[in-house]
């Protein structure tokens, strides 16, 4: 019932982290007078598409207009914006696992983080936040704001692995069929689709890798040294995914090249056969055309065996050409 009341205000999740891996829900109306214990942190997850979310962010969140404008802007890319007093804005992208969506159409989550408060906004639902709520309900979730931001980044990064693996397996299958099946050529449209998916993922993963590296080097003071190691591991994971996507793009280019080469070979063989047939029939056509002229003095015109003689000469010319082509190894 509490979640339904909060949802009417655009508040998807409102949880107070207890510092032990658990959390308790709070109502939207209680945010104004909410007092946190020393070991507690607050996480507010909002629906960016709700008008009331915009109103709360600008009027009650305590954020300045610059931060609100960035959190609510229509289009953004992965980036890190440091703010005064050891606060920051973090813009991340995650795999779109919503029904009917393309994974490379990555969903955005915008995060404002300070030592004891995290405000996140999304436009479309994210599996990462649902996993986070489930872990908190089980008492196994993040203990503070630093853990929460890191947890969201980790879950967003983990889901990228499945999509990259799927692309790689598809290319493996196509390459095996090209190598094992004579004359097999993958569909051009399918290869282009794979290349577009790889490019769409690389578009957002490259800047996201860079901001993870930045966080590994320059974490705010309320992050621990252990957090820096985790950010560095996320940077390494995205580097590996990007290398795999770059390799996949090169493999797609090789498959397209193989497809074009096979098409060119088939076309050349077809044109070669047409050339041989044309070469055989050209002198025969000349003989029949010459004898078909309606003029006087044609040889064999008054001979009853003229037709048979002409057929024999034509056949002899054809056999002679065939033997010549065989000797020249044109056949």
Tens digits of residue pLDDT in 192-217: 888 888 888 888 888 999 999 999 98
Instruction: With cut-offs at 50, 70 and 90, classify the pLDDT of residue 251.
Output: confident
Has residue 298 been placed in a domain?
no
Residue 272 burial by Cβ neighbours in a 10 Å radius (0-12, 13-18, 19+): exposed
Residues 163 and 107 in one domain: yes
Residue 135 burial by Cβ neighbours in a 10 Å radius (0-12, 13-18, 19+): middle
Domain that holds residue 276: 263-292+305-327
CA 83 to CA 88: how far, in whole Å? 5
Residues 147 and 171 in one domain: yes
Residues 228 and 316 in one domain: no
Has residue 300 been placed in a domain?
no
Please state the rounded mean pLDDT for residues 73-97: 87
Residues 238 and 271 in one domain: no
Instruction: With cut-offs at 50, 70 and 90, classify the pLDDT of residue 41.
Output: very high
Residues 59 and 194 in one domain: yes
Has residue 299 been placed in a domain?
no
Residues 156 and 14 in one domain: yes
Has residue 297 been placed in a domain?
no
At 45-76, the pLDDT tens digits run 999 988 999 999 999 889 999 999 999 998 88
pTM score over 0.85: no
At 279-291, the pLDDT tens digits run 878 887 887 777 7
């Amino acid at each position: 019932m509490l979640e339904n009341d909060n949802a009417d205000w655009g508040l998807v999740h409102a949880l107070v982290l207890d510092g032990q891996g658990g959390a308790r829900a709070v109502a939207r109306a209680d945010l104004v007078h909410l007092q946190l214990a020393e070991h507690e942190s607050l996480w507010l997850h909002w629906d960016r598409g709700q008008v009331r979310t915009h109103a709360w962010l600008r009027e009650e969140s305590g954020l300045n207009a610059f931060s609100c404008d960035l959190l609510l802007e229509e289009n953004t890319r992965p980036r890190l914006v440091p703010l005064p007093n050891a606060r920051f804005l973090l813009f991340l992208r995650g795999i779109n696992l919503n029904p009917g969506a393309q994974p490379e159409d990555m969903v955005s989550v915008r995060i404002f983080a300070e030592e004891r408060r995290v405000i996140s906004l999304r436009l479309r639902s994210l599996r990462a936040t649902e996993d986070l709520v489930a872990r908190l309900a089980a008492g196994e979730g993040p203990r503070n704001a630093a853990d929460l931001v890191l947890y969201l980044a980790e879950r967003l990064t983990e889901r990228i692995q499945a999509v990259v693996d799927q692309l790689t397996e598809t290319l493996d299958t196509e390459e095996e069929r090209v190598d094992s099946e004579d004359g097999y050529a993958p569909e051009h449209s399918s290869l282009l689709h794979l290349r577009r998916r790889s490019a769409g993922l690389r578009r957002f993963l490259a800047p996201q890798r860079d901001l993870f590296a930045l966080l590994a080097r320059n974490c705010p003071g309320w992050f621990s040294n252990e957090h820096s190691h985790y950010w560095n591991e996320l940077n390494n994971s995205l580097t590996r995914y990007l290398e795999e996507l770059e390799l996949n793009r090169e493999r797609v280019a090789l498959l397209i090249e193989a497809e074009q080469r096979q098409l060119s070979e088939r076309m050349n063989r077809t044109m070669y056969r047409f050339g041989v047939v044309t070469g055989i029939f050209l002198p025969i056509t000349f003989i029949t055309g010459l004898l078909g002229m309606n003029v006087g003095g044609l040889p064999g015109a008054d001979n009853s065996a003229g037709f048979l003689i002409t057929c024999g000469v034509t056949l002899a010319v054809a056999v002679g050409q065939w033997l010549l082509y065989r000797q020249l190894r044109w056949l």
